[in-house]
Structure 1
Amino acid sequence: MLSIYSYLCSMIAAERYHDISCGHRVVGHEGKCRFLHGHNYRIHFTVVADQLDEIGRVVDFSVIKYTLCQWLEDNFDHKFLIWKEDELLPQLLDIAGESLVIVPFNPTAENIARYLVEDIGPMQLQQYGVTLASCKVEETAKCSATFTSS
């Protein structure tokens, strides 16, 4: 018999990643990231459920693809993320308005991961009975940030 601790620490998750190209700048950064630049992001989604479905899955991987991955394609891919409080926003709107995605956060990898888990995940997955438990945002093969909901 499992102890309550073992039960609470046991979890099965479904994971899928998606690659996009996206630009940003980090307001207040002390180094190069304060400049306009971009990344070939790899974004990892980890989805959990209270129980497995009748087939034995958290969710079919295609659900992650056509909800979360497609949302990235439609909203972030080949766009430029800019914080609504960025002083460059007015000038960039004049020259590149349709390629801008105005976000309510300074677009660090950490904030992007949090936004995807807290705001986008619930909206995209609500009808499937699963939860986006965490998201890892890789800016490069060496640098990433992960947000996990509590």
Structure 2
Amino acid sequence: MIIAERYHDISCGHRVVGHEGKCRFLHGHNYRIHFSLAADALDEIGRVVDFSVIKSRLCMWLEDNFDHKFLIWEQDEMLNQLQAITAESLVVVPFNPTAENIARYLVEVIAPKQLEDLQVKLIACKVEETAKCSASYTL
């Protein structure tokens, strides 16, 4: 299998509901999101997909929707209070915003919509919270 990969950097805040340590507090990361795409066959030029397509479809989705925003779980008890203070900076998500859940969401929910007219599929996503800590989701 041949895989095309590209990463994108964003800055984003979150908190992990139920976390036993520091991550239960409001904080943020300079995330690096790695996208791995595959296709049943290479195109006529010999590519899985042009890297600019990954940028325009997936990296720019991150820029438009997550960059410089605060991810908050729809079940977070702090949601109403934060909406009262800064609703425009919040992204309400249907999951506790761990790196693992972000990676799965990008693969299962976002990428199929962003790539629906192409003959390519996001097969894996790696979310780095720091240079030392990351989580990956693979189909």
1:133 correspondence with 2:128: no
Q: Which residue does the alignment assign to 1:8?
A: none
Shift of 1:120: 0.5
Q: Which residue does the alignment assign to 2:86?
A: 96
Q: Which residue does the alignment assign to 2:69?
A: 79
Shift of 1:42: 0.1
Q: RMSD between aligned alpha carbons?
A: 0.3
1:65 correspondence with 2:92: no
Task: Give the whole-Å Cα distance in 2 for the aligned partners of 1:112 and 1:100.
Answer: 15
1:18 correspondence with 2:8: yes
Query: Of 70, 87, 106, which residue of structure 2 is paired with 1:116?
Result: 106
- Give the alignment's TM-score, normalised by structure 2: 1.00
The SS at the match of 1:64 is: helix
Shift of 1:25: 0.1
Shift of 1:128: 1.4
In structure 2, the gaps of 5 or more residues are: none
1:56 correspondence with 2:46: yes
Normalized per residue, the structure richer in helix is 1
Q: Residue 97 of structure 2 aligns to which amino acid in structure 1?
A: P
Task: Give the whole-Å Cα distance in 1 for the aligned partners of 2:40 and 2:86.
Answer: 44
Q: Residue 33 of structure 2 aligns to which amino acid in structure 1?
A: I
Aligned pairs, number? 139
In structure 1, the gaps of 5 or more residues are: 1-10
The SS at the match of 1:111 is: helix
Task: Find the structure with the greater CA-based Rg.
Answer: 1
Q: Residue 54 of structure 2 aligns to which amino acid in structure 1?
A: I
